[in-house]
Amino acid sequence: MTAVRKSQIGGAVHDASTADPRAWRVLWSGTFAFTICFAIWMMFAILGIPLKTQLGLSDAEFGLIAATPVLSGSLARVPLGICTDRFGGRIVFFLTMLATVIPIWMLTYATQFWQFIALGLLVGLAGASFSVGTPYVARWFPKDRQGLAMGIFGAGNAGSALTKFVAPILIVSAGTWMIVPKVYAIAMLVTAILFWMTSATNPAHRIAHPPSFASQLSVMKDRHAWRYSQYYSVVFGGYVGLALWLPHYYVNHYGFHIEQAALLAACFSLPGGVLRAVGGWLSDRFGAKKTTWVVMWTVLTCFFFLSYPDAGFIVQSSRGPIGFNIALSPTVFTILMFTVGIAMAIGKASVFKFVSDEYTGNIGAVSGVVGLAGGLAGFALPILFGLLADLTGVSSTCFMLLFGATAVSLIWMTFSFRSHGNAALPRGSV
């Protein structure tokens, strides 16, 4: 399927060579709002550390409390993506942000495990803003620049790093984690107001005669959508899962304090968000297939080294036994995670380049399905990480799991593109 130069959206034809002069203002406004939403979506990566001690949680329970917002944010992506196609991104984005303000504030008063789970589900709506903002900003740009536009918007994933910088400072300065929800609730309210004041609406971007919700959900039967969902579950789901797990990993495995752990974890989260725009540009330039292929191999290689557990063994030599110890130092570990963060940032953009190339009028629903798969993986992974750590006592089992998931994606890519004879297709096609 070759790239389409003109697209039918809302009954009007939009030439790919032109763009609305308000497009860049919409893009920067949406990106800022999504950055704050993502920072709030990831806040349990930091809050979970003191809560683990306060509530006496196991590793699996820590994974659950950290990942709960990811579950609701993922499940809400499909319906909110469809609502964006029908009603427009600006109003849906604004109302989504407003809906989270009170639940964020109420976290201050939670004292029991179930209360954090219940409120976490409501706070998780902040993460669903991705499936609203992606089609919202993409439709302001011509086809050949949508990869870059979605990449810039997706750079809001850097909110994960932002919360790792801000939340520990707030906790240390106030002497309690309770200050974080209060600050974040105010930040979300201010962000929603600023977004409404600086963004814009184009009625032509709404579908004039929208299909039924049932027909839009029929995209879930599309095998191509599920293939892209598998890729996204690695590059985005893996990113979210690791962003939630890494501060805890640094504390437990290397014995760092929360401030140091958060800072080092940000070395993964920051490039994993900011460089998504680079991924959008590379996808526009070299095509989604080539870009995603390189990303998957890079991630697989890094996970291979990260998977190896700390080990010691003795070799019997002619001069007596010789002992060897194999372990990744914090420096080498952080360098590998930094590399994974860069690769995942590029991969998150390249997967959505596939989506924008193949789906035009239904991009909101498709991006919702793909985002749902990635988000569900991001929810499941911290829990699985905790279960594996509890069962085996080996901390690197989390990377073994990710190595296997990445290998599945590479195998799927190999056979799916071979069956389509993709080598003969134009660049950027699927």
What's the pTM?
Answer: 0.76
Query: pLDDT of the chain along its 430 residues, tens only?
Result: 333 333 333 333 344 334 577 888 999 999 999 999 999 998 998 998 899 889 998 888 888 998 899 899 888 877 887 788 788 889 999 999 999 999 999 999 999 999 999 999 999 999 889 888 888 888 888 877 777 787 788 788 888 889 988 999 999 888 899 999 999 999 999 999 999 999 988 777 666 666 665 665 666 667 777 788 888 999 989 988 998 899 999 998 898 988 889 889 988 988 877 787 788 788 888 888 889 899 999 999 999 999 988 887 788 877 778 877 888 899 999 999 999 999 998 998 888 787 777 776 666 667 777 877 888 898 899 999 999 989 998 889 999 999 999 998 888 888 776 655 443 333 333 3
Which among 126, 114, 102, 111 is positioned nearest to 64, based on CA atoms? Answer: 114
Determine the pLDDT at residue 228.
Answer: 84
Domain assignment present for 212: no
Determine the pLDDT at residue 374.
Answer: 85
Q: Please count the structural domains in the chain.
A: 1
Query: Distances from the Cα of 26 to the Cαs of 149, 394, 407, in angstroms?
Result: 10, 46, 38
Residue showing tokens 């134009």: 426
CB 240 within 8 A of CB 118: no
Domain assignment present for 211: no
Dist CA 302 CA 361 (whole Å): 37
Q: Which residues contact 51 (CB under 8 A, 6 or more apart)?
A: 44, 57, 62, 65, 116, 177
CB 280 within 8 A of CB 148: yes
Domain assignment present for 207: no
Q: Where are the beta strands (DSSP E) in 145-289?
A: none
Domain assignment present for 110: yes
CATH number at residue 373: 1.20.1250.20
Domain enclosing residue 142, as ranges: 21-199+221-424
Domain assignment present for 73: yes
Domain assignment present for 417: yes
The token duo for 256 is: 């760092």
Dist CA 130 CA 143 (whole Å): 19
CB 315 within 8 A of CB 322: yes
CB atoms within 10 A of CB 110: 17
Domain assignment present for 15: no
CB 49 within 8 A of CB 251: yes
Domain assignment present for 210: no
Dist CA 117 CA 65 (whole Å): 6
Which among 349, 376, 359, 369 is positioned nearest to 82, based on CA atoms? Answer: 369
Which among 88, 384, 37, 25 is positioned nearest to 238, based on CA atoms? Answer: 384
Q: Which residues contact 53 (CB under 8 A, 6 or more apart)?
A: none
Dist CA 358 CA 270 (whole Å): 29
